[in-house]
Every structure is written in structure tokens, then in C-alpha cells.
Amino acid sequence: MNTENAGFNTKLIHGGDIDDQFGSATVPIYQTSTFSFKSAEEGAKCFAGESDGYIYTRIGNPTINALEKQIAILENGYGAIAVSSGMAAATTIYLALLSSGDHIVSTDAIYGPSRGVMEKQFVRFGFQSTYINTTDVDAIEKAIRPNTKMLYIETPANPTMDITDLKACADIAHKHGIILVVDNTFCSPYLQNPLDFGADIVFHSMTKFINGHADIIAGIIITKEKALYTQLRTMMINLGCNMDPHQAYMVLRGLKTLSIRIDRAQENAMKVAEFLEKHPKVAWVKFPGLKSHPQYELGKQQMKGDGSMISFGLKTGFEGAKILMNNVHLALLAVSLGGIETLIQHPASMTHAKVSKEDKQKAGITDDLIRFAVGIEDAKDIIEDLKHGLEKI
Ligand code: LCS
């Protein structure tokens, strides 16, 4: 079926490849490392890029390719490159597009390792980075240097839930001739399409909403144009951080229910956020659906929904948070997010533990911040669980 003019949900179900050979309703798993050529001439043509036949799974594979095509369609991109994890996506982008002496400007409150790898590992290769609060558009302008090559943002940011203006970032990036990269993990293509606002590259940890079932680690990079696509694909092939065909099959399976999972999770999240905001032991709540969110209006403009991630703090700080985390039973005390189950975690001591105390403070990753990833259970049970845990404080 041609889904070019179809709606998002139809594209989710019918946007991918179909099996012409046997009419299989799902994309088959081509669990192979290599592909045979019909002749020496055909093999030579494949290697010369004159034929688009498959060669070797690190380079390309029909199951992986079906996922790449479908995500590229959902993000309105030119093409997509599937990789082994969200971190593989981030590091492939850094390594493909930055050289020694180049500088990036990035959101300070991003997933800890996306920042840690730059500041602690890639600094050895001469990469320079500045981390700022990207909700402040003027601060972005000020942070750009003559050697800045990339503006890298996460919106909403993990774990502060700060929302950065996509259109303003695209305008700044293009005025300065730099590339805008957006980590779209917290929204998925269902809730936000950064390429439509002018971003050059979008990536996802598909471990989260896109796969959605807490059983796979995976990532994907989507580009607006062919040139960046080719550069990134070449780096992925050479780094060898390709996806496995079985992994791609699992993600294709999870992807089909993306919109109905998110619809339920964000409906639950709204109820949970409202409950928390009214609770006497809760000091503050940050959720894009609450009018109290500092970038509420911006969120409504660039996101198609509020998502299901909530940050909040207790009046009793980290001591209270520990009691809460030790006394919830439905919510799993676990990192990750975007799955069908509700998770609770403490970023300052878990996902962002390796960010220095001073940088955490500056980025708003305070000691009292609890991150709550709302799942698709019944809202009343999630709220009951929180109520019970909060009573113990
Ligand atoms: N980007 C964001 C926004 C993330 O939240 C994560 C993982 C990654 C990239 C990396 O993806 P991965 O390699 O794990 O597929 N976030 C995690 C989190 O918040 N808790 O556990 C993992």
C-alpha cells in the first residue's frame, strides 16, 4: 500500500516493507551475516555501489532496512540508520561529524552518558563541548564559537523535562552554518518531528517508546538530507555498531502499537501529575501537560502530546525520595523509560550519577528530583501505589 498521504497510525501498520515472496503479514527475520551473489560480476557491482543488492549484515540487511525505511517515513526524513543502541546513535553522530578542534553546544540536562562520553572520552580526540540551559535562546547564541560545528539538544530533557525551542535552534544553527541534532527519545516520532522544525538530524534510543516493551536495546538516526545520511551510514558501518536482524524484528513488532501505547501512557501521566501537584508532601512537579511547566506554551506548539515522563521533588528531599522508592510496589525501581510498565528512579544517584555535582546543580538535576516514567497500567493503581509510598514518609 502507498502510505504517502496516509495518517500516522496507518503508516505505523502499513508503512514498512511487505513480503512479496510469500505475502507474510510481518517482515521476516533475515537472520544471516552474509548474502550470496549470483555471479562474480554481480558481487563486483554491489561493492561498486552500482547495484543495491545486500552484501553483509553490518552493511545492510532486509529486516533492518524495513525498520529504517519505516522510521524515516514517520520522522519525515530522507533516510534512517539503525544502530545497536541509543548511545551508538549519539557516538556515531559525534564521530562522523566532528574532527579534532571542533566544538559543540549542547543542552546541559541531557542523558548523562551522552554528555559524559564527550567530556570524559572524546575530549582526548580534541572535541570541545559547552553545556548550557538551551531553554535560553540567547545563551545558545552566546555559546557559539568560530569552531562550533554542532548544536545538540534534547527536548524534553532527561531528567529536568525542560523544553527547548526547536524552530529557534534551527534558525540559530543555520545562521551560523552548523548542524542541529535533536535527541527525540522522550517524544518518539508520534509526539514530535524535529526535522519539520528545521533540524538536520534526529535520533532515538529505540530502547524506549519506539520498541516500548523493555526487552531490547536499540537506536536509530534519521537525517533530512542524503549527504549527512551517507556520512553517518559510512561511520556506522566502520564502527560496526549495526543492529542485529532479530533486534530489528522485535522493534518492528513493538513499533506497531506506538501510538496506542503513548495515548494510554500520557493519559495516565496527566492524572498522575495532577495527583502529585496537589499532594501536600510534594514540593514541585514538572510535566509538559501542567500549566505550571515553565515552557507549557512552547510544548503545546512543538509537541503533539504531553508524553508520559514526569519529574518531581518532595519537601523532604532525597531522604523522602528514598522512602518513596523503597515503598512503591507497582512502579519498578529501575532506570529506562518509555515501556509499558511504570518506572521510578533517582537521576542524581542513578542515570546522571557520573555528571559532577557542580554540573548537576547547574543543569537543575537536583538531589530531590525523582523521575517517574508512567506506564500503561490503570491510572488509579499507579496513583494508589504513589499514595501508599508517600504515606510512609
Ligand atoms: N538518549 C536519551 C534521551 C536516553 O534517555 C537514553 C537512555 C539514551 C539516549 C541512550 O540510549 P540507550 O543506549 O540506553 O538505548 N536513557 C536511559 C535512562 O534514562 N535510563 O536508563 C537509560
Q: Which domains does the chain have, with CATH numbers?
A: 8-255 (3.40.640.10), 258-391 (3.90.1150.10)
Handedness of CA 261, 266, 267, 269 (dihedral sign): positive
How does pLDDT run across 93-147, given as a tens digit for each residue? 999 999 999 999 999 999 999 999 999 999 999 999 999 999 999 999 999 999 9
| Angle (deg, nearest 10), helices 86-97 and 226-239 | 110
Is 371 catalytic? The answer is no
310 close to 272: Cβ distance less than 8 angstroms: yes
299 close to 162: Cβ distance less than 8 angstroms: no
- CA–CA–CA angle 148, 144, 87 (5° rounding): 55
Whole-angstrom distance, CA of residue 326 vs CA of residue 162: 27
Q: Residue 56, SS3?
A: strand
Number of Cβ within 10 Å of residue 221's Cβ equals 29
Number of Cβ within 10 Å of residue 284's Cβ equals 15
Cβ density class 240-252: b for 16+ within 10 Å, e for less? ebbbbbebbbbbb
Q: What is the DSSP letter of 147?
A: T
Residues of the chain with pLDDT under 50: none
256 close to 131: Cβ distance less than 8 angstroms: no
- Measured torsion, CA atoms of residues 309, 164, 362, 365, in degrees rounded to the nearest 10: 0
Q: Ligand 1 centroid to 156 CA: how many Å? A: 13
Substitution candidate for ligand 1 out of 117, 162, 205, 220 with most atoms within 8 A of CB: 205
Strand ranges inside the chain, DSSP E: 79-83, 103-107, 128-132, 148-154, 179-183, 201-205, 219-223, 282-286, 309-314, 332-333, 343-345, 369-373
- Closest atom of ligand 1 to CA, residue 185: 3
- What is the reported pLDDT for 3? 84
Whole-angstrom distance, CA of residue 38 vs CA of residue 35: 10
For residue 230, how far is the Cα from the chain centroid?
21
- What is the reported pLDDT for 41? 96
Is 58 catalytic? The answer is yes
- What is the reported pLDDT for 305? 98
180 close to 106: Cβ distance less than 8 angstroms: no
How does pLDDT run across 336-378, given as a tens digit for each residue? 999 999 999 999 999 999 989 999 999 999 999 999 999 999 9
The residues pairing with 83 across neighbouring beta strands, listed in sequence order, are 219, 242
210 close to 187: Cβ distance less than 8 angstroms: no
- What is the reported pLDDT for 20? 78
End-to-end CA distance of the chain: 56
- What is the reported pLDDT for 2? 81
Give the three cell numbers for residue 390.
508517600
The finding on whether 86 has its CB within 6 A of some atom of ligand 1 is yes
Q: Cell 495527583 identifies what position?
A: 275
Q: Cell 533517582 identifies what position?
A: 346
The contacts of residue 241 (CB under 8 Å, 6+ apart) are: 83, 84, 85, 88, 91, 92
Active-site residue, selected from the candidate residues 45, 58, 167, 362: 58
Rg of the chain (C-alpha set): 21
Q: Whose CA is nearest to atom 2 of ligand 1?
A: 111
H/E segment holding residue 381: helix 379-391
Q: Cell 552518558 identifies what position?
A: 113
H/E segment holding residue 166: helix 166-175
Number of Cβ within 10 Å of residue 101's Cβ equals 11
Substitution candidate for ligand 1 out of 154, 185, 203, 311 with most atoms within 8 A of CB: 185
- What is the reported pLDDT for 35? 97
254 close to 213: Cβ distance less than 8 angstroms: yes
- What is the reported pLDDT for 199? 98
- pTM, rounded to two decimals: 0.97
DSSP code per residue over 219-254? EEEEESSHHHHHHHHHHHHHHT-BPPHHHHHHHHHH
